[in-house]
Amino acid sequence: ETGVTQSPTHLIKTRGQQVTLRCSSQSGHNTVSWYQQALGQGPQFIFQYYREEENGRGNFPPRFSGLQFPNYSSELNVNALELDDSALYLCASSTRTGGLETQYFGPGTRLLVL
């Protein structure tokens, strides 16, 4: 148990729809990162939030957006869903200490786009 929770666990959407995934970080962790893991691949960095501000973004289009809230929860929003968005979405929380921290991952949300 990492103390990081994600909801929902599974989700089915159709192309063109919008989806919101949620993550609750460990208490006191001021940094949350989101990753996309396609089947058979390693996780790919989407973006990171630090103290409610976006702090780094991977190679993902603007239809992937996020929010971080003061209560250590965060959201990943994806608009205009495409079939290739089908993946396991992972959030990870940490306390920024100059790159020496362990990131604690949640169990993930599996998204299927039909």
Partner 1 sequence: KQEVTQIPAALSVPEGENLVLNCSFTDSAIYNLQWFRQDPGKGLTSLLLIQSSQREQTSGRLNASLDKSSGRSTLYIAASQPGDSATYLCAAQGGSEKLVFGKGTKLTVNP
Binding residues (CB under 8 A) for partner 1: these are: 2, 4, 6, 31, 33, 35, 40-45, 48, 55-56, 58, 88, 90, 92, 96, 98-100, 102-108, 110
Is the Cβ of residue 38 or residue 80 nearer to partner 1 in the bound state?
A: 38
Closest distance of CB 56 from partner 1, Å = 5
For residue 90, how far is the Cα from the chain centroid?
5
Which whole-number Å values give the CA distances from 104 to 8, 40, 60, in the listed order?
A: 18, 21, 22
Closest distance of CB 105 from partner 1, Å = 4
Is the Cβ of residue 13 or residue 45 nearer to partner 1 in the bound state?
A: 45
Is the Cβ of residue 13 or residue 96 nearer to partner 1 in the bound state?
A: 96
Is the Cβ of residue 2 or residue 20 nearer to partner 1 in the bound state?
A: 2
